[in-house]
Every structure is written in structure tokens, then in C-alpha cells.
Amino acid sequence: MDRDIQRKKFLETYHEHDIAAHARILKIPDTTLRRWAEKAGLPPKSTMNTTFDTALLSNGFDGHKWAFGWLKANGASIFIKNPEDALHIEESKEEWLEEIKKHSPKYRPFKYEKIKEGHLLVIDPADIHIGKLSLEEETGEEYNVKKAIERVQEGLEQLLQKTSNFPIEKIVFVVGNDILHTDTATRTTTKGTPQDTDGMWFDNYRKAHKLYVECIDRLVAIAPVHVIHCPSNHDVMSGFFLAQSLVAYFHKAKEVTFDVSISHRKYFEYGKNVLGFTHGDGGKESDLFTTMSNECEYWKVDKKNPQRRYWYLHHQHHMKKISYKDGEDFIGGTIEYLRAVSASDGWHARNMYKAPQSMCAFIHSRDFGQVCRIMHIF
């Protein structure tokens, strides 16, 4: 059922049931229903005992507005815990992004040179893992927050220098792909896997934001930039909010556009090119182009003017290129796995999961597809 229809039904029958009954009928968390009622100016209802609610409110504590907390008195204490939905993530996100927008810089329109036969530049710094810790004594190489940032800065400048002979009319800048090494305050990934870490989670988030802002500022001076976010396994939530913060920061820059939804696969069209981007931790490699044909709005079948189809994948930290030809019940194209910017941590080094580290860029022609692959090795 559509949320707007559910909200209307709830408000129309508000006085017929208590909040708990509404929640069961509509299959919507009670905290969401309370928000709807509050916005509509309806008198509050509770799933808790009214006397208990009143006691809490009289002491300045509204239990429905907190994810958890202790109410303590002499000789007694009560622990209040609401469902996860009590955090109201969407509402918090909007308030937070609006606050960022208030302080975002003003960008004057950029003036670019007119280009007759331009190219697309794809800059894809993969698996940066800000917050990862690798000690030379254990792994044979040093990696930390400072090193991660320095590598991206160095890699970007080197890639721009190496591609400077190409006339660039558009840039795709790929963000996400494990930009942050952890996703919790307890130094774990989104799923709870403990990690060797450097720095505090909140400071690493700020540094990642600053790094991306610097990169986009550098790129938009060359050509209009389209930012694509790939959600990833180490930092699903932090990476998503980081991408949203970039949208808010650059909302006054018309030459910077975004595709930063939570969708795991993103697509971009350039001339005859159809580019797909995903982290690479889900789904079968052999299904990528069939999936592209079903999901991508740019997909076309024209034998006289065939499309150049590409997938850019990450996650594995190894470089690999696979080409598939069109066949019966099979759609072809090129899949490229990108090396990581980050070094191996202790666990990966012990289990011999090590690979060279680099940062990659790709040049695409409107008619001929990918014409150049540039790599800066660390």
C-alpha cells in the first residue's frame, strides 16, 4: 500500500484504535504513526501506560523521541528503548542536509573551452578504506588515514596529468566503494566484522568528506562533473550519508550533478557508451549485462550502431578485465575490476590476500568506447 494512502487511512481512523492496533493493522512502526499524528495536530496516544507516559513527561523525558536512555532516581532506574525506527533516520537526514546547505559555498558558473571532439574521463578511486591500519612490521607496508588521503591526492593529480592531452568534455567521478573502513563506533564493518583501525570514526568521516570535496573542486575546474555513488559492504550507512552530504555541499554548483541513491547499481550514458558501476560484492558476474538490459534506461539494441557496454567493479582489490561477446540468449560487453588504493591489513596479509595498489582512470570516446586506461601505481 502506498505510504500516502496509509497515512490518510490512519488519520481518518485515528480515534478508533490505539497506536499499537494501528501499527499491527497497517504494518507500520508505531513511532512513524506518532509522527504522522503529531504533524496532523492530533492528540497524542501511546502504546505505553498513560500514567507512565505522564510520569516521564513530567520529568522532561519524552520516551518516544529517543532511541534509548536511562531515567534514574534515588534507588531506582528505568531503561527506555524504542525500535530502530525511533531514530527517524529520514527526518534526521533532511534536517542535517538542510543545515549543510546553509553553509555550502557559492559557485559561480564555470566557463569551459568549446571542444569539437570531446571525451569522457572516468576517475574511479577504488577501495580507499579511510581508517584502515596496516603496520609495516606485520604486513610489509604502511597504511593509515594520512596515507590514504595522500594516495588519493597524489593519484588524482597524476591521472589528470597523464590524461591532459585528451580534450575532456565530461567527467564521471565515482565515490563510495568502501571509502570508509568501518561503519560503527565499535570499529566494525556494517555487518559487524571487527577491523584493524586508525583514527576515530567521526574524524575519519570528516576527513573523507573533505577529501571528496577537494577532488570534486579540482575536477569541476576542468569539465562538468557527474558524481556516482556505489554503496559497499564496509560502510553501507556511513558511505550513503557521506554521498548525501556532498549533494548538499555542492547544491549551488550547477556543473556538479549526482546519482547517489542507495541502489547498488548505477548507469551512465555517453554517446554510444553505456557504463555500469557497482561495488562488486553482490550478484553473479555473468548476470551483469542481462541485469543492465533489464534495469538501464539507456539500453538500446541497434545492430547498425551497436552500443559500447562496460561494467566497472571494485571490492576484489585485484585488476581483471573480461570481455563477453554477444551470443544466443547472452548480451556482451566488457567488465573491469579495479585495484584498490589501500594496502592489505593484518588479516589479509596473513592469508596472502595481497595485490599491487593503484588508482585508475578511463577515457571514453563517444563513438568508439573506451580508448585509454590510465593507472597510477603506489
Q: Number of structural domains, the chain?
A: 2
Distance, CA of 229 to CA of 173 (rounded, Å): 9
Are 124 and 310 within 8 A, CB to CB?
no
**Amino acid (1-letter code) at residue 19:** I
The reported pLDDT for the residue numbered 84 is 47
Are 144 and 341 within 8 A, CB to CB?
no
For residues 7 and 125, membership in a common domain is answered with no
Domain containing 18: what range? 3-87
Distance, CA of 374 to CA of 359 (rounded, Å): 8
For residues 49 and 182, membership in a common domain is answered with no
For residues 160 and 49, membership in a common domain is answered with no
Query: What one-character-per-residue DSSP string does 122-168 give?
Result: EEE-----BTB-B-HHHHSS-B-HHHHHHHHHHHHHHHHHHTTTS-E
For residues 17 and 139, membership in a common domain is answered with no
For residues 73 and 107, membership in a common domain is answered with no
For residues 278 and 373, membership in a common domain is answered with yes
Q: Which three cell numbers stand for residue 240?
A: 550513503
For residues 183 and 319, membership in a common domain is answered with yes
For residues 209 and 127, membership in a common domain is answered with yes
CA distances from 144 to 141, 174, 236, 317 (A): 10, 22, 21, 17
Q: Which three cell numbers stand for residue 297?
A: 534506461
Q: Which of 87, 117, 149 is the last residue of a domain?
A: 87
For residues 245 and 311, membership in a common domain is answered with yes
Task: Compute the chain's Rg from CA coordinates.
Answer: 25
For residues 171 and 79, membership in a common domain is answered with no
Q: Which of 61, 87, 113 is the last residue of a domain?
A: 87
For residues 28 and 143, membership in a common domain is answered with no
The reported pLDDT for the residue numbered 65 is 56
Q: Which of 24, 57, 87 is the last residue of a domain?
A: 87
170, 154, 271, 149: which is closest to 219 by C-alpha? 170
**Per-position pLDDT tens, the chain of length 378:** 577 788 888 888 887 777 777 777 787 887 788 888 888 888 776 544 455 555 555 556 665 555 556 666 666 676 666 554 444 455 566 777 787 888 889 999 999 999 989 999 999 999 999 999 999 999 999 999 999 999 999 999 999 999 999 999 999 999 999 999 999 999 999 999 999 999 999 999 999 999 999 999 999 999 999 999 999 999 999 999 999 999 999 999 999 999 999 999 999 999 999 999 999 998 888 899 989 999 999 988 887 788 999 999 999 999 999 988 766 555 689 999 999 999 999 999 999 999 999 999 999 999 999 999 999 999
- Residues, the chain, total? 378
The reported pLDDT for the residue numbered 61 is 60
CA angle 348, 206, 236 (to 5 degrees): 50
Are 316 and 354 within 8 A, CB to CB?
no
How far from chain centre, in Å, is Cα 144?
Answer: 21
The reported pLDDT for the residue numbered 212 is 98
CATH of the domain at 261: 3.60.21
Distance, CA of 102 to CA of 164 (rounded, Å): 35
Give φ, ψ of 200 to 5 degrees: -95, 150
Query: What one-character-per-residue DSSP string does 21-69 give?
Result: HHHHHHT--HHHHHHHHHHTTPPP--SS-HHHHHHHHHTT--GGG-SEE
The model carries a pTM of 0.76
